[in-house]
A = this chain, B = another copy of it.
Amino acid sequence: MTWDVFSLIGTAAFAISGAIVAMEEDFDMFGVYILGMVTAFGGGAVRNVFIGVPVSVLWGQGLFFIVASILIGIIFFFSGYLLKTWNRWGSYFDAIGLAAFAIQGALMAVEMHMSMFAIVAAAVLTGAGGGVIRDLLAGRQPLIFKSDIYAVWAALAGLIVGFDTYVHDVSLYLLLAITAALRMLSIKFHWQLPQRSLLGK
């Protein structure tokens, strides 16, 4: 139950981030809606395909679809009023979504007895995959490959879920809090991973 709340926060944050990118690219109302939905549900959908989760899991999220649809509508019609607030708080909701989605994706892979590589991949795909699809559909280079540390926290969360054979609810909430906090700190202090530029030499 509480878990669903975090998933819902993540779904909402991802849907809104997709809708904002679409409006920045002058997409029409349909494009805004699709980009919002794809950002919220695309990562999980691709994860399902690659770890073999049945499609019914994707389409059984009716309530989440409705919430995301309504939010995209609100952001589209009231973007002027809401964006100022979003710019301040949005990335914090997004961090909660990243953490909740990554842990959820990793747990699914664990349940299906996948290898450690698959568990980490499921965490990264679920947490960061929607954002990659969003950026590709918007004609942008995916943000997560260059931005303040993002998907690495999803990978770490996946790794911990994969190693931890005694998964308790309490430890999962702790993991969620730590993962989200690390992402928030990455934004706040602009933590960057090392780069090796070739063209700039």
Contact = CB atoms under 8 A, between A and B. Distances in A.
A119 to B, nearest CB: 9
A156 to B, nearest CB: 11
A150 to B, nearest CB: 8
Nearest to A69: B117
Given A27-B146, A59-B114, A152-B30, A76 B141 contact: no
A31 B54 CA distance: 29
A115 interface: yes
B83 A195 contact: no
A54 B55 contact: no
19 contacts: A20-B198, A22-B145, A23-B196, A24-B198, A26-B197, A29-B194, A30-B144, A30-B145, A30-B193, A32-B196, A34-B124, A34-B145, A50-B58, A51-B55, A59-B114, A59-B115, A76-B196, A77-B196, A132-B137
Contacts of A199: 24, 26
* Most chain B beta-carbon contacts within 10 A, residue among A51, A59, A77, A144: A59
A91 interface: no
Given A77-B196, A136-B136, 11 more contacts: A23-B195, A23-B197, A28-B194, A30-B193, A49-B49, A49-B50, A51-B55, A51-B59, A52-B54, A132-B137, A137-B145
A81 to B, nearest CB: 12
Copies per complex of this chain: 3
B141 A139 contact: yes
A28 to B, nearest CB: 4
What class of interface size applies to chain A in its complex with B? Answer: 35 or more
A195 B27 contact: yes
A171 interface: no
Contacts of A65: 117
